[in-house]
Amino acid sequence: MGQLPGRVAVITGGGRGIGRALAVRFAAEGATVVISSRTAADLDVVLATIADAGGPAGRAVVADASDRDDARRPVREALERFGRIDILVNNVGGSVGRATTPSPATTPASRPRSC
């Protein structure tokens, strides 16, 4: 089958971009994937792509990683449904519990000018 048969992978940010590519590839290698994203439609497309390619049935978890309780849901659901996690990919942009206001060091006025 592949290099990951029987493995369980949790991939946050699994609905698009790198997360989606990893989910599809891991499933092609035999892993069962638990993917999360804030957008259910993106997750549905990824699971359909995996199913169409004959990959193992995975699980989609709609979750907002910027919310601490929501961020725990993919792990909790993977453990409840599959009993373990073999691979964890934290592929989410943004910050949790941090200010989003730029610091003085990152404002345009403080950056050196290029020639």
pLDDT tens profile 41-90 = 999 999 999 999 999 999 999 999 889 999 999 999 999 999 999 999 99
pLDDT tops 60 at residue 13:
yes
Give me the helix-helix angle, 40-52 and 17-28, nearest 10°: 30
- Asked if 21 and 46 count as a contact pair (C-beta separation under 8 A), the reply is no
Q: What is the pLDDT of residue 95?
A: 55
pTM: 0.80
Mean of all residue pLDDT scores within the chain: 87
